[in-house]
Chains A and B, each alone.
Chain A
Amino acid sequence: MNEIPAPAALLPWAPERTGEAAPAPERRPPAALAELGLALRLAWRQLRAERARLATAIAGVMFACVLVFMQLGFKGALFDSATNLLQALRADLFLWHPLTEASFRPERMPRSRAHQALADPEVVRAIPVYLAQLPLRNPETGTKRAVQVIGFDAAAGALRFPGIEQVAEALTRPDTFAFDLRSRPEFGPLPRLFNERGPFMVELNGRAMELVGLVEIGPSFGADGNVVMSEVNFRRVFERRPSHIDLVAIQLAEGADPAAVQARLRALLPGDVSVLTHAELVQKERRYWEDGTPIGFIFLFGSVMGLVVGMVIVYQILFADIAGHLGEYATLKAMGYTDGYLARVVLGAALILAVVGFIPGFLLCLFLYDFVAGATFLPLVMTAERALGVFLLIFGMCFAAGLLAIRKLRDANPADMF
């Protein structure tokens, strides 16, 4: 009975019936990189095998991706737009009441501070600016809506909004103003009407005023539109004491060091003004909207929720994949695959999902950004930093889901396979 017929095809490396135990073949462990590649390939083959499950996972990652992109996009756009007006102010230093939190609700300060600032030899001009929100009547529908009014000496050239030079001359006439062509359309088709028929009368704060030109500033959180006029006209339309102003824009002599002048002005001026550089001014305004309002938190919360939902979906998919293949995973362990290798397979699957979910999500968001920007007039722009940042978030999300799912691998015990 021990006489064994020779197998039909002997393998090239078989020691033919020598009766000896097969020699233990030389084995060296695969290079770490090659092994990682094999683990990734196994993960991909496993994912690919279940199309419906893969589609669900990709949809989950895409969902998280779109949600985070949109939340960050809206947040960025709103904060960018919140500082539209201040961004447009071109001056070296600004005086502003220390209690002013945001430009739409300024605290007033004495006009004399502007004159005092001139005491510094390197201050060339100190231009008082008035800010207020006043109702503007839509000439087509007759409805009224608050518009941000900026009153200053346009001829001084401190506030260089695009287009201001052409209208500076006209603004010196009584009862004239320039309108921000990027204002929301609720104010009526003022830019179109102006381009068609030239200057015309519009009601601002119950007073008939002449629209004499267009400038470009952009709407913001606090203001749906902007109107620029001379300070004389401002005081006329908005009856208020000229001795109190909202902002001072300071221009320095060529070559002056803004930081040095800022320090000198701080020492010179009383405590009812703070001296800010342009960057500090914009930053302060931005911080008000980010920290002083629930807006920043709302978007953060939305982003986190997107990531959590995405993570749960990816976790569920990975978990189901492991739970459905426990026997196979246990077999691999019995064959000598380490726990670490199988963990890399699961993490590999997670990271593949991150990539294949992110790409369509990103493309969809490019389209959505355009679409939403067109609908809301908010500056939604896809930047490289944001794309990279969201990719890292999605990557981290999938990685976390993978780490959670790995625990299930413990249930794959090769000793239970027999």
Chain B
Amino acid sequence: MQAPVELRGVSFAYGSGELRRLVLREVDLRVEPGEIVILTGPSGSGKTTLLTLIGALRAMQQGSARVLGQELMGAGEAARVRLRRRIGFIFQNHNLLGFLTARQNVAMALELDGALSERERLARAGAMLEAVGLAEHSEKHPAQLSGGQRQRVAIARALAGGPGLILADEPTAALDKQTGQEVVRLLRDLAKGRGVPILLVTHDPRILDLADRIVAMEDGRIVQGAPERAR
């Protein structure tokens, strides 16, 4: 079957003319269904840029990227926005809306789906918060939650829409060691349980053992863990 993420010969550069700086050179990457891939490497190695390309947050420049069956090379803004709705994002900072409760924040991921009523949305958001162990905090605002709890709300939000892919960028950066591990383990368990692949960018060596596969990048190239077929 088709892999959720399949990149071939992806190159990307910032700037133009003499200031042009190539940050991705001919990257090939494949993420299998249900696979958890950690993308690691020094800062400036291009891993975050790669993540924004896969997340359809940036327009492609060169190469081919099929994400959840959608070819991103040459895809317009509208197609990219549609694809983003099928991807769960987890950011370094939780980026929850401060004026909404945890449950309303999670429900925001469902408001783009016209098939659900308000009641169904809140019920699903509540179930999702229960799954991340925050059932009794669902009516609290982000300011009333700890860092780990906020990141767990963000995980619930990323998963609530039933995404086909989770993209996470340094999800443990703002957390202490233990909380960070707990949060990533929770993310992994939930994703595994639902067969959702995860592509996670991190520097954090403490969470590397949670991955199915580790891909290391340097200077815009994948230097280790290059595409493997059918595991």
Please indicate the chain B residues that have their CB under 8 angstroms from the CB of A141 in the complex: none
- Mark B48-90 against chain A: 1 for CB-CB distance below 8 A, else 0: 1001100101100000000011000000000001111110010
Please indicate the chain A residues that have their CB under 8 angstroms from the CB of B201 in the complex: 418
Contact of A336 with B34 in the complex, beta carbons under 8 Å: no
Contact of A2 with B212 in the complex, beta carbons under 8 Å: yes
Please indicate the chain A residues that have their CB under 8 angstroms from the CB of B58 in the complex: 415
- Interface hub of B111, B197, B212 (most chain A Cβ within 10 A): B111
Which listed segment binds A: B16-24, B145-153, B185-193, B217-225? B185-193
Contact of B114 with A29 in the complex, beta carbons under 8 Å: yes
Please indicate the chain B residues that have their CB under 8 angstroms from the CB of A384 in the complex: none
Given contacts A20-B34, A22-B194, contact A336 B82 (CB under 8 A): yes
Contact of B52 with A11 in the complex, beta carbons under 8 Å: no
Task: Report the separation of the CA atoms of residues A145 and B193 in the bound assembly, to the nearest whole angstrom.
Answer: 94
Given contacts A21-B4, A31-B114, contact A4 B188 (CB under 8 A): yes
Given A24-B86, A25-B113, A418-B52, output 4 extra A-B contacts at Cβ < 8 Å: A11-B194, A21-B164, A25-B161, A418-B92
- Mark A336-358 against chain B: 1 for CB-CB distance below 8 A, else 0: 11100000000000000000000
Contact of B164 with A26 in the complex, beta carbons under 8 Å: no
- Mark B91-122 against chain A: 1 for CB-CB distance below 8 A, else 0: 11101111110001000110111110000000
Residue of A9, A18, A46, A336 touching B81 (CB-CB under 8 A) = A336
Task: Report the separation of the CA atoms of residues A330 and B169 in the bound assembly, to the nearest whole angstrom.
Answer: 15
Please indicate the chain A residues that have their CB under 8 angstroms from the CB of B84 in the complex: 333-336, 414
CB distance from A8 to the nearest CB of B (A): 8
Given contacts A15-B195, A21-B196, A22-B162, contact A335 B97 (CB under 8 A): no
Residue of A7, A11, A15, A38 touching B111 (CB-CB under 8 A) = A38
Please indicate the chain A residues that have their CB under 8 angstroms from the CB of B1 in the complex: 20-21
Task: Report the separation of the CA atoms of residues A331 and B106 in the bound assembly, to the nearest whole angstrom.
Answer: 12
Please indicate the chain A residues that have their CB under 8 angstroms from the CB of B130 in the complex: 9
Within 8 A of B (CB), among A398-418: 414-415, 417-418
Task: Report the separation of the CA atoms of residues A327 and B163 in the bound assembly, to the nearest whole angstrom.
Answer: 21
- Mark A16-37 against chain B: 1 for CB-CB distance below 8 A, else 0: 1111111011111111001100
Contact of B131 with A418 in the complex, beta carbons under 8 Å: no
Which interface class (under 10, 10 to 19, 20 to 34, 35 or more) fits B? 35 or more
15 pairs from A and B in contact (CB 8 Å cutoff): A4-B188, A4-B193, A9-B130, A21-B4, A25-B113, A29-B112, A30-B111, A30-B114, A327-B93, A333-B84, A334-B84, A335-B85, A336-B85, A414-B57, A418-B48
Within 8 A of B (CB), among A37-75: 38, 45-46, 48-50
Given contacts A4-B188, A30-B113, contact A11 B55 (CB under 8 A): no
Contact of A7 with B131 in the complex, beta carbons under 8 Å: yes
Contact of A12 with B127 in the complex, beta carbons under 8 Å: yes
Contact of B114 with A334 in the complex, beta carbons under 8 Å: no
Interface presence of A14 (CB below 8 A):
yes
Contact of A334 with B55 in the complex, beta carbons under 8 Å: yes
Given contacts A1-B209, A338-B81, contact A24 B109 (CB under 8 A): no
Please indicate the chain B residues that have their CB under 8 angstroms from the CB of A28 in the complex: 113-115
CB distance from A250 to the nearest CB of B (A): 70
Task: Report the separation of the CA atoms of residues A386 and B58 in the bound assembly, to the nearest whole angstrom.
Answer: 50
Please indicate the chain A residues that have their CB under 8 angstroms from the CB of B190 in the complex: 7
Please indicate the chain A residues that have their CB under 8 angstroms from the CB of B51 in the complex: 418
Contact of A14 with B57 in the complex, beta carbons under 8 Å: no
Please indicate the chain B residues that have their CB under 8 angstroms from the CB of A336 in the complex: 81-86, 112
Please indicate the chain A residues that have their CB under 8 angstroms from the CB of B97 in the complex: 46, 325, 328
Contact of B192 with A17 in the complex, beta carbons under 8 Å: yes
Please indicate the chain A residues that have their CB under 8 angstroms from the CB of B81 in the complex: 336-338
Closest B residue to A50 by CB, please name it: B99
Given contacts A334-B89, A336-B84, contact A20 B55 (CB under 8 A): no
Contact of A9 with B131 in the complex, beta carbons under 8 Å: yes
Residue of B108, B192, B194 touching A335 (CB-CB under 8 A) = B108
Task: Report the separation of the CA atoms of residues A338 and B89 in the bound assembly, to the nearest whole angstrom.
Answer: 16
- Interface hub of A5, A9, A20, A48 (most chain B Cβ within 10 A): A9
Closest B residue to A338 by CB, please name it: B81
Contact of B89 with A331 in the complex, beta carbons under 8 Å: yes
Contact of B52 with A332 in the complex, beta carbons under 8 Å: no
Please indicate the chain A residues that have their CB under 8 angstroms from the CB of B113 in the complex: 25, 27-28, 30
Contact of B112 with A11 in the complex, beta carbons under 8 Å: no
Contact of B164 with A335 in the complex, beta carbons under 8 Å: no
